[in-house]
Amino acid sequence: MNVGDVSRRTLADELATGVVELIREQRLEPGGQLDTVRTLATRFSVAVPTMREALRRLEAMGVVVLRHGSGVYVGENVGRSVLPNPHSPILTGERLIDLLEARRTIEPPIAAMAATVRDPDGVARLTETLDEAEQCLRLHDERLWIVNLEFHRALAQASGNTVLAEVVDSIVLVHAQEQREILRLHGDESEDFAEHQRIIRAVVDGSADEAFGATHEHLTNVIDVIRARNLGSEH
Amino acid sequence: MNVGDVSRRTLADELATGVVELIREQRLEPGGQLDTVRTLATRFSVAVPTMREALRRLEAMGVVVLRHGSGVYVGENVGRSVLPNPHSPILTGERLIDLLEARRTIEPPIAAMAATVRDPDGVARLTETLDEAEQCLRLHDERLWIVNLEFHRALAQASGNTVLAEVVDSIVLVHAQEQREILRLHGDESEDFAEHQRIIRAVVDGSADEAFGATHEHLTNVIDVIRARNLGSEH
DNA sequence: ATCACCTAGTGATCTAATCAATTCCACGCC
DNA sequence: GGCGTGGAATTGATTAGATCACTAGGTGAT
C-alpha cells in the first residue's frame, strides 16, 4: 500500500473494491451471504474467472469466504484494519526475540486498560480461558498452547480497544507455531499458568498497575527463557 | 486463520502456499522475479486461471506483484507478519479514538527504543523526514500529511524491532486518509512539526524518557483535538 | 548516442465446458 | 406424522483455449 501510488489498477483490484462497497451498501455482517459468483460477475459486467480472481483477493484477506456448492459469504475480517500474514516465515533467532519484545511492549498497557475498563464480558471470557487452561493442565491435554493463545487474545479484547485487539490477535495468531514452541521451551506450564492467573486477578481487581507489572514480568520471563535457549543453541 | 481449522483447502490455497515455498527455496528477495504465470501453472500441473487465482491471493497480501507484460515478482510483504487491510472501513467516532489510543500505547515505547538504540541509519531517515516536513511547511505543500506518515513509520523502524515497525506501518498506512483528516482537524501544522522536532531531538540525544514523554504528549494532544471535534460534531 | 518502431514475451480477460460439493425437495418406510 | 435417503438443482472449482493489452528488448535510422 503506497499512498502516492498512481499505477494502473487491474480489473480484479477494482472489482475487489466494488464487492467490498456492495457488502457495505447491503450492510452485510460477517456470515451474511452475497450473490453467487455468477450473479456478481453479471452485476459487474465481467467474466466469471475475473470475478473469481477478485474474490480470491478478498478471500486472502478474510473479507469473504467462498463455500463450494453453497455460495459466497462475508468473512470475519471485513471490518479489520490489521491482519496476520498467513504466509509469514517462521520466526527464529533475533526475529523471534523481536516478536516477544513487541508483545512485551504492547501487552502490559493492554492489561492495564483491561483492568481499568473491567468489562464484564471481557472478564468472563478471560476467566473462561483460565478454566480451560487449568483443565488442560490437569488432563495433560496438549491443547494447552492453543488455550494460552486464546488467553492473550481475550486479554487484548478486554482492553476495549479494537485496534490493539487486532494487533495482538494478528501477532499471536500468525506466529502460533512459534508460540507453541515457546511454551515447550519454557518447560514449566504450571508456572506459566500461575502467571496468567496473576494477570487475571489483577484485571478482576481493577488494579491497572498490578496488571501491567504482572504481564510485563510474565513476558520478560518468557524472553529470558528463549534468550537462554537461543544462546545455548548457537554454541 | 483458525488454528484448529481442518476444513478442506482449495487448490488455489494450496498453490499459494506452494508458490511461497518456491520463493523461499529459490531464496528470492523482494523485487526478484519468479517464473511466468504459464510456467508456474505447468510446474504445479494446473490450469493457468487456477494459478492466477492463487497469485491473486498472494498479490492481495503483497507477497507477489504481477506486472502486465513483464512477469511475476516477489513483493515487499513476503517476510512480513502483520499487514494492513486495504479494504478496511474508514474509521470514525470511537473507532478513530481507538486507533489514536492504540498509537499512543505503542509509539511512546517505540520512541524510547529508538532513543536507546540510536541506529545511525534510523536517525538519518528520521531527520530526513523532518527536513521534508519543514520544506512542505515552507512551501505550503499539501503533501505534508504524507511526510508526517513517513515520520511515524521511520520512528518505528528506528526502534530496531521489526514486529513493532510492521504494526505501526500497518496502522498508519491503512488509515492514511484518517491521518490526513486528523492533520486537517489539528489545524496547527507548525505545532505538529515542533512536536515531531522534539521527539527527534530526544532520539538523537539518546534520551529515552524524553522521547517517550514527547511522543506520548504529542499523541495525547492529537487525541484531545479529535475528541473535542467529535464532541462538537455530535451536538 | 539517442530515439523510434517492431516483435516477442507475458500478463489480463474472455468464452464455454466439465467436475465437485452443498442444499433442498420428494418419496418411501416406520 | 416424522425421519431418513436419494436425486436433482444450485453453486463453487477447475480446465481448455482464444484473444487482447502491456512491457521489454533489439534493431535501424538519424
Instruction: Say if residue B218 is in the same domain as residue B178.
Output: yes
Total domain count, chain A? 2
pLDDT digits (tens, 9 = 90+) for B103-144: 999 999 999 999 999 999 999 999 999 999 999 999 988 889
pLDDT for B232 equals 53
Residue A6 domain flag: no
Q: Which of B19, B54, B79 is the last residue of a domain?
A: B79
- The CATH number linked to A173 is 1.20.120.530
pLDDT for B231 equals 63
Instruction: Say if residue A195 is in the same domain as residue A162.
Output: yes
Using CB atoms, pick whichever of B53, B60, B171 lies closest to residue A61. B60
Q: Cβ of B140 < 7 Å from strand D? A: no
- The CATH number linked to B35 is 1.10.10.10
Instruction: Quickly count: other Cβ atoms within 10 Å of residue A28's Cβ.
Output: 16
Does residue A101 register a pLDDT over 60? yes
**In this complex, do B101 and A161 lie within 8 Å of one another by their Cβ atoms?**
yes
**In this complex, do A4 and B85 lie within 8 Å of one another by their Cβ atoms?**
no
Q: Which of A23, A53, A79 is the last residue of a domain?
A: A79
Q: Distance from CA of residue B30 to its chain's centroid?
A: 16
Instruction: Say if residue A180 is in the same domain as residue A104.
Output: yes
Cell of A56: 480470491
Could you tell me the residue range of the domain that residue A24 belongs to? 11-79
Instruction: Say if residue A74 is in the same domain as residue A97.
Output: no
Instruction: Say if residue B105 is in the same domain as residue B66.
Output: no
Residue A48 domain flag: yes
Residue A18 domain flag: yes
**Under-70 pLDDT residues of chain B:** 1-7, 231-235
Residue B86 domain flag: no
Instruction: Say if residue A129 is in the same domain as residue A190.
Output: yes
Residue A87 domain flag: no
Residue B163 domain flag: yes
Instruction: Say if residue A45 is in the same domain as residue A112.
Output: no
pLDDT digits (tens, 9 = 90+) for A122-163: 999 999 999 999 999 999 888 899 999 999 999 999 999 999
Helix A93-117 to helix A120-139 angle, to the nearest 10 degrees? 130
Q: Which of B35, B52, B79 is the last residue of a domain?
A: B79
Instruction: Say if residue A102 is in the same domain as residue A217.
Output: yes
Spatial distance from the CA of A68 to the C1' of D9 (Å) = 14
Instruction: Say if residue B21 is in the same domain as residue B100.
Output: no
Instruction: Say if residue A75 is in the same domain as residue A103.
Output: no
Residue B1 domain flag: no
Instruction: Say if residue B157 is in the same domain as residue B98.
Output: yes
Give the whole-angstrom CA distance, residue A61 versus residue A64. Answer: 8
How, if at all, do strands A82-84 and A71-74 pair?
Answer: unpaired
pLDDT for B3 equals 43
This complex has an ipTM of: 0.90
Task: Catalogue the long-range contacts made by A123-132 (C-beta closer than 8 Å, 24 or more residues apart).
Answer: A123/A158, A123/A203, A123/A204, A125/A154, A125/A157, A125/A158, A126/A151, A126/A154, A126/A155, A126/A158, A126/A200, A126/A203, A127/A200, A127/A204, A128/A154, A129/A154, A130/A196, A130/A197, A130/A200
Instruction: Say if residue A70 is in the same domain as residue A163.
Output: no
Query: Strand D: which of residues 27-46 in chain A lie with Cβ below 7 A?
Result: 36-38
Residue B2 domain flag: no
Spatial distance from the CA of A70 to the C1' of D8 (Å) = 15
Judge whether A186 and A154 are in contact, CB under 8 Å: no
Average pLDDT, chain B: 91
